[in-house]
Amino acid sequence: MDQARSDGDLGTVLGVFAHPDDEAYLAGGLMATAVDAGRRVVCITATRGELGFPDDDPRSIEERMTVRERELAACLDVLGVTEHLWLDYPDGGCAAVPDDEAATRLAVLIDEIRPDTVLTFGPEGQTYHEDHIAVSRWTTLACRQATHDPRLLFAVMTPEWIEAIGQLVDVAQVMMVPGVEPPTTPADELSLWFVAEDPILERKVQALECQASQVDGLIASAGRDAYKALNADETFRDPTPDDWRA
């Protein structure tokens, strides 16, 4: 297990995610810890999350984008992340983007930023969301293509975490493919297990609360204390030879 389990030191960090709020859920504690340690942190978001609203939301697509942009900006401000880039792909449309195009764009950015660590989704995209899966694939290909050679880490979930969240929500309703079991990684196969404690954990939750359009319902139903406890663990594994085999 990586020593960053306790100190969160991953050097310069680049996070590559699909939608606003992915970054805070999966790596908000690590990013805030890195910023506080004087490390450079850069976040890339593939889409503006315009589909992340109820079907009857009266706002236009452009208005929804603006909401998500403002929420993400406020979230990153709380975390202390000052460098952010959009890929400007359509929400729900990442699977249709040619891998070569997206991976090449990311490889160029990796060579410019020269991160020590790149964080992204595991190959199953946490919930089998096609955007998440595409971003994982692009990022993996980009790390292979780039001249700079960072450490790539996949965000994953442990069986224990799935059991814990199952006490608050119906996990089956979160999975994007009906009938599938959530993808999990046993604790003894993790490469990095960062446990956020206050004040970092409180800051992470405050950052998530900035993305009110996405989190208000869950916080209201679960209760803030339970929601906070659920967000303490950030778990990652190293890629294997079978992940996005070339």
Kindly state whether residue 242 falls inside one of the protein's structural domains. no
Is the pLDDT confidence value at 84 over 90?
yes
In this prediction, residues 146-153 reach a mean pLDDT of 98
Is the pLDDT confidence value at 4 over 70?
no
Is the pLDDT confidence value at 130 over 60?
yes
The pLDDT of residue 2 is 61
The pLDDT of residue 242 is 87
Q: pLDDT by residue (tens digit) across 111-121?
A: 999 999 999 99
The pLDDT of residue 9 is 87
The pLDDT of residue 148 is 98
Distance of CA 73 to the CA centre of its chain: 15
The pLDDT of residue 170 is 87
Give me the helices (H) in the chain, please. 4-7, 22-36, 61-79, 99-113, 125-128, 130-145, 159-166, 171-174, 200-209, 212-222, 224-230
| Average pLDDT, rounded, for the chain | 94
Residue 156: beta bridge partners?
235
Kindly state whether residue 74 falls inside one of the protein's structural domains. yes
**H or E stretch including 13?**
strand 13-17
Kindly state whether residue 243 falls inside one of the protein's structural domains. no
Q: Any residues with CB less than 8 A from the CB of 214 and at least 6 apart, and which? A: 20, 21, 49, 52, 71
What is the CA angle 62-18-150, rounded to 5?
140
Question: What pLDDT band is residue 246 in, cutting at 50, 70 and 90?
Answer: low
Kindly state whether residue 246 falls inside one of the protein's structural domains. no
Is the pLDDT confidence value at 200 over 60?
yes
The pLDDT of residue 177 is 87
The pLDDT of residue 7 is 62
DSSP state of 37: T
Kindly state whether residue 10 falls inside one of the protein's structural domains. yes
Q: pLDDT by residue (tens digit) across 34-55?
A: 999 999 999 999 999 999 998 8
Kindly state whether residue 63 falls inside one of the protein's structural domains. yes
Is the pLDDT confidence value at 5 over 90?
no
Q: Which of helix, strand or coil describes residue 194?
A: strand
Contact 27, 15 (CB under 8 A): yes
Kindly state whether residue 84 falls inside one of the protein's structural domains. yes
Is the pLDDT confidence value at 3 over 60?
no
How many structural domains comprise the chain?
1
- Output the pTM of the full model: 0.95
Is the pLDDT confidence value at 6 over 80?
no
In this prediction, residues 52-63 reach a mean pLDDT of 92
Q: How far apart are CA 223 and CA 241, in angstroms?
A: 41
Rg of the Cα trace of the chain?
Answer: 17
Say what angle helices 61-79 and 212-222 make with each other, to 10 degrees.
Answer: 70
In sequence order, what DSSP letters do the residues of 69-131 get, joined into one string? HHHHHHHHHHHT--EEEEEEEPTT-GGGS-HHHHHHHHHHHHHHH--SEEEEE-TTHHHH-HH
Is the pLDDT confidence value at 190 over 70?
yes
Kindly state whether residue 25 falls inside one of the protein's structural domains. yes
Question: What pLDDT band is residue 168 in, cutting at 50, 70 and 90?
Answer: confident
- Its domain, for residue 80, covers 4-237
Q: pLDDT by residue (tens digit) across 88-103?
A: 999 999 999 999 999 9
φ and ψ of 171, to 5 deg: -60, -35
Whichever domain contains 21, its CATH number is 3.40.50.10320
Is the pLDDT confidence value at 122 over 80?
yes
